[in-house]
Amino acid sequence: MAEWIDVCAAGDLKPGERKIVATDVAEIAVFNLDGELFAVEDVCTHDGGELASGVLDGDQIICPRHGARFCIRNGKVLSPPAYEDIETFPVRTDQGVVQIDIE
């Protein structure tokens, strides 16, 4: 069963922006990529460091520590030194509020 939690008002997350949300499950980064919303766990699978402060290059987040790349659309790892995908979470906008499903 879904467990939707509020992130922010939809207007507060503009294209190109991201927001980090602390949940019981993990720190989750929510990205607005040209009007599409994506959410990933804010942890690099290479060494456990935070990921979301890295550069966003199209739909790829680049780890600020060692340069591993991940697709924010599906969590797939795209370059070493990471070899494991990151977790993704469903995102929706409901009554003007961005929400993520942490179930």
Range of the domain at 42: 4-101
Q: Tell me the pLDDT tens digit for each residue of 38-81.
A: 999 999 999 999 999 999 999 999 999 999 999 999 999 999 99
pLDDT at 2: 85
Cα–Cα distance between 15 and 66 in angstroms, integer? 26
Cα–Cα distance between 20 and 80 in angstroms, integer? 24
State yes or no: pLDDT of 4 exceeds 90.
yes
Average pLDDT over residues 77-99: 97
pLDDT at 40: 98
State yes or no: pLDDT of 5 exceeds 90.
yes
State yes or no: pLDDT of 98 exceeds 90.
yes
State yes or no: pLDDT of 103 exceeds 90.
no
pLDDT at 22: 95
pLDDT at 36: 97
CATH number for the domain harbouring residue 62:
2.102.10.10
Can you give the pTM of this predicted structure?
Answer: 0.94
Domain count for the chain: 1
